[in-house]
Amino acid sequence: MTTPRRLLARLRVIMARGAAPLGDLVDVVAAEMTAEVCSVYAMRPGDLLELAATCGLNPDAIGRTRLRVGEGIVGLCAATGTVMNLPDAQNHPAFAYRPETGEEPYASLVAVPLRRASRTVGVLTVQNRSPRNYDADEVEALETVAMLLAEVLATSGASDGAEEGVASTLPRVFTGKTLAPGIVIGPVVLHGPRFKARRLLAEDPEAELDRLHEAADRMQRRLDELFAARMPDGDAPREVLAAYRLIAADTGWLRRVGGMIQGGLSAEAAVQRVTGELRDRMRRIGDPYLRERLSDLEDLAGRLLSELDGNSADSPVVPGAILLARRLGPAELLDWHARGIAGVMIEEGSPAGHAAIMARALGLPTLGGARGAVDAADPEDEAVLDADESQLILRPESDVKDVYLRALEARIALQAGWAVLRDKPAVTKDGQGVRLMLNVGLNLELDQLDITGAEGIGLFRTEIAMLARGAIADTAEQAAIYARVLDAAGNRPVLFRTLDLGGDKLLPGAAVPEEENPAMGWRSLRIGLDRPVLLRRQMRALLLAAGGRPLQVMFPMVATVAEFRAARALLEAEAKRVRPAPERLSIGTMLEVPALMWQLPALLREVDFISVGSNDLLQFLFAADRGNPALSGRYDLLSAPVLDLFEQLLVAARMARVPVSLCGEAASRPIEALVLVGLGFPTLSMPAPGILPVKAILAELDLAEFRHVLASVRRNAAGEPSLREAIAAWARERELPL
């Protein structure tokens, strides 16, 4: 029979000498437990448990014997995270025989998981020849040893090191529940154990108990101060405070900590042990209320540890960051709020939880339940927290991030005083109406239709929703997305663009061949025509979403009339199969590849409309990567070649009676918008933040006068790389709101 205290005392002596070899530790445990065998299995990459040290089994098996997580009793212990105490292990159904270990003679076995920061990093086993049940004290002693060994494995680098593993760069999307609405874009901060016990074992239990009680008193005082200083108004937060105080004042868990200290642990290690136990117990309870109390308890334990460590004050500020937490207590939320976080995701957070109540009172956008996000995130990562749509997007694609940035900018622009223009039509001072439409990529932008007063959606980038969810949705899901767009638009027109994937818009895990020049590579409609199943699935979804309403679809990156014809044929074939058929089906193309300009006569006979994608058109026209900031100032849309091209297009399209619009980002910049309207574009489609400023400048514009000015600037600027300054000078003179 062992005395746990003597075991811990011996371990303390060994560990005080510095980094203790695992072999020495297992020898001591075997001796003190009067066990014939004590072994440690360490977690290796690929979820393998490898025999890392043993006293009693064949030493040649070290580094050779491996079990998958879930395989054998050791694997089962790791998979379930629970202690296995078996008098007759060899007859257990999970037993996996490994001849190289020489373990035939041993009947009884205890396996204890080695856990660190909620991860299993290995397994400790003890075996005896005689069939025996290890008693509760022995198992408890082994659990304490397991805690030490987990630290030893982690600090010696003997475990798989997955915590420090290679950072992922792929976007990840997590769905959860909205606990408090709002959108935030920012760096992530991880809420984790702020603290690691430096000293696990202590010599003088009385002194440790004194430390514990002093720290608990300090914690109580600090909590009172925190709540007094930062408590948001309202009844609910007050109820939270009352409930929280009750838990803080409950001496049950502190008594249990005291008991562990009496057993030889340091105060810090005892707090961690008790919290770990509670965590395991509560996790097995499904009741959401009790699980919420676990967050409160962990919050308190974290505070107590900080007090014991004397570091409760040194919290860095993290302005604008998104906090990711597995669990979060209300006091922790208040602390983080004081440090400047702008949004929160709590994996185990529920609407009725204390942290959620606090978050609502503080107006912090908060998402609950996005499981796996904490493990997937690295401290350097950026994220979009879209608590309105219940999503967290980790490492967002730049296109997805841009959409969110624009949505936020639009909200700000509106607050900045343009709102009066919302319900006014877009007309020039001399009465020429212009249709201003929205570029939209996610459903969250749909409210911009009403907010900006746009006349419809001139570009719905269907791939953005797929990028945001990390995969191409099936037909029904896609149809639901598109139907929501049409519902939100009501009588306003919507131009759907088919998937424009490839180039820089890659889905995670997509098997795409390496390309030297992805922007000019296998992308967009080219993929659609080579993989017609995908394209037809999307077309079907669009037709289903329309459900008899008018439908407008356009194709991106069309380079030849033949490509357009092929895509159109696919859509028309699908349209014959879907009922109800759309009241009107308009099929158009984007003009992004310059070659189309020399196919205009044929093209205009086959398309119902054209929308100029000036972002891509300019990059191909000037052979200048649109994503390269070093080139961004080098070529200008407001230059003779581009304006000549637009003019030729407008003239040809007018004669063929084909409507033309422009939907690149340029349309949202007031001076560009002036010129485009001056050239004769009747419709401009742009990101939401542009609508009201463009409306404002058009309202001040004498179009007839400007057309003369534009013509003369174009005549006089032959050979100039840009006409921008001449036009801007005129606009400033006219005091237009640039």
State the greatest distance between any 2 C-alpha atoms of the chain, in Å, as a whole number: 103
Measured from the CB atom, the residue of 56 and 458 that comes closer to ligand PEP is: 458
Measured from the CB atom, the residue of 385 and 617 that comes closer to ligand PEP is: 617
CB of 728 to ligand PEP, least distance (A): 23
Measured from the CB atom, the residue of 396 and 613 that comes closer to Mg ion is: 613
Tell me which DSSP letter residue 497 carries: E
Taking residue 70's Cβ as centre, other Cβ atoms within 10 Å add up to: 13
Exposure string over 622-653, b if 16+ CB within 10 A, otherwise e: beeebeeeeeeeebbbbbbebbebbeebbebb
Give the binding range for Mg ion (CB under 5 A) out of 375-383, 449-457, 608-616, 651-659: 608-616
- If one asks whether residue 140 binds Mg ion (CB under 5 A), the answer comes out as no
Measured from the CB atom, the residue of 298 and 500 that comes closer to ligand PEP is: 500
Is residue 325 within 8 A of residue 347, CB to CB? The reply is yes
Measured from the CB atom, the residue of 208 and 592 that comes closer to Mg ion is: 592
Is residue 536 within 8 A of residue 605, CB to CB? The reply is no
CB of 452 to ligand PEP, least distance (A): 18
Which one of ligand PEP, Mg ion, none is in contact with 269 (Cβ closer than 5 to 8 A by kind)?
Answer: none
Look at the block and give the residue holding tokens 């194709």. 555
Look at the block and give the residue holding tokens 């009747």. 682
CB closest to Mg ion, residue no: 616
Is residue 273 within 8 A of residue 202, CB to CB? The reply is no
Positive or negative: CA dihedral 241, 244, 250, 255: negative
CB of 613 to ligand PEP, least distance (A): 3
Which one of ligand PEP, Mg ion, none is in contact with 672 (Cβ closer than 5 to 8 A by kind)?
Answer: none
Q: Provide, for the chain, the percentages of residues in helix, strand and coil under a 3-state DSSP scheme, each rounded to the nearest 5.
A: 50, 15, 35
CB of 612 to ligand PEP, least distance (A): 7
Q: Rounded to whole angstroms, how far apart are CA atoms 531 and 528? A: 5
Strand positions, DSSP E, 87-192: 108-116, 119-128, 172-175, 177-180, 183-191
Q: At 440, which amino acid appears?
A: V
Which one of Mg ion, ligand PEP, none is in contact with 461 (Cβ closer than 5 to 8 A by kind)?
Answer: ligand PEP
Measured from the CB atom, the residue of 160 and 592 that comes closer to Mg ion is: 592
Chain centroid to CA 44: 27
CB of 525 to ligand PEP, least distance (A): 12
CB of 611 to ligand PEP, least distance (A): 8
Measured from the CB atom, the residue of 264 and 613 that comes closer to ligand PEP is: 613
Which one of ligand PEP, Mg ion, none is in contact with 36 (Cβ closer than 5 to 8 A by kind)?
Answer: none
Tell me, letter by letter, the H, E, C secondary structure of 565-606.
Answer: HHHHHHHHHHHHHCCCCCCCEEEEEEECCHHHHHHHHHHHHH
For ligand PEP, the binding residues (CB under 6 A) are 459, 461, 500, 592, 613-616, 663-664
Measured from the CB atom, the residue of 632 and 716 that comes closer to ligand PEP is: 632
- If one asks whether residue 458 binds Mg ion (CB under 5 A), the answer comes out as no
Measured from the CB atom, the residue of 324 and 617 that comes closer to ligand PEP is: 617
Among candidate residues 38, 92, 354, 708, the one labeled active-site is 354
Secondary structure of residue 384 in the 3-state scheme: strand
Measured from the CB atom, the residue of 176 and 456 that comes closer to ligand PEP is: 456
Which one of Mg ion, ligand PEP, none is in contact with 614 (Cβ closer than 5 to 8 A by kind)?
Answer: ligand PEP
Residues numbered 584 to 603 that lie near Mg ion (CB under 5 A) are 592
Closest CA to 102 of 67, 130, 129: 129
Taking residue 261's Cβ as centre, other Cβ atoms within 10 Å add up to: 24
Residue 663 annotated as catalytic: yes
CB of 588 to ligand PEP, least distance (A): 13
Q: Rounded to whole angstroms, how far apart are CA atoms 576 and 66? A: 59
Measured from the CB atom, the residue of 186 and 664 that comes closer to ligand PEP is: 664
- If one asks whether residue 613 binds Mg ion (CB under 5 A), the answer comes out as yes
CB within 8 A of 466, min separation 6: which ones? 472, 473, 499, 501, 507
Among candidate residues 77, 337, 663, 708, the one labeled active-site is 663
Taking residue 504's Cβ as centre, other Cβ atoms within 10 Å add up to: 13
- If one asks whether residue 616 binds Mg ion (CB under 5 A), the answer comes out as yes
What is the arrangement of strands in the sheet containing 108-116, beginning at the earlier edge strand? 66-68, 48-55, 37-44, 119-128, 108-116, 84-86
Secondary structure of residue 379 in the 3-state scheme: coil
Q: Rounded to whole angstroms, how far apart are CA atoms 593 and 590? A: 9
Element of type H or E holding 410: helix 398-415
Secondary structure of residue 317 in the 3-state scheme: coil
CB of 464 to ligand PEP, least distance (A): 8
Secondary structure of residue 661 in the 3-state scheme: strand
Q: Rounded to whole angstroms, how far apart are CA atoms 286 and 294? A: 12
CB of 689 to ligand PEP, least distance (A): 16
Which one of Mg ion, ligand PEP, none is in contact with 663 (Cβ closer than 5 to 8 A by kind)?
Answer: ligand PEP
Total residues contacting Mg ion (rule CB under 5 A)? 3
Secondary structure of residue 192 in the 3-state scheme: coil
Which one of ligand PEP, Mg ion, none is in contact with 677 (Cβ closer than 5 to 8 A by kind)?
Answer: none
Query: CA dist 504 to 95, 402, 407, 625, 677, Å?
Result: 50, 13, 21, 11, 31
Which one of Mg ion, ligand PEP, none is in contact with 664 (Cβ closer than 5 to 8 A by kind)?
Answer: ligand PEP
Q: Rounded to whole angstroms, how far apart are CA atoms 364 and 434? A: 39
Residue 354 annotated as catalytic: yes
Structure tokens at 671: 């001076």
CB of 380 to Mg ion, least distance (A): 30
Through-space distance between the first and last CA atoms of the chain, rounded to whole angstroms: 86
Peptide bond connecting 580 to the previous residue in cis, omega within 30 degrees of 0: yes
- If one asks whether residue 665 binds Mg ion (CB under 5 A), the answer comes out as no
Measured from the CB atom, the residue of 50 and 592 that comes closer to Mg ion is: 592
CB of 240 to ligand PEP, least distance (A): 46
Is residue 16 within 8 A of residue 5, CB to CB? The reply is no
Look at the block and give the residue holding tokens 């994220």. 383
CB of 505 to Mg ion, least distance (A): 10
- State the catalytic residues: 354, 663
The residues of the shown chain that bind Mg ion, judged by CB under 5 A, are 592, 613, 616
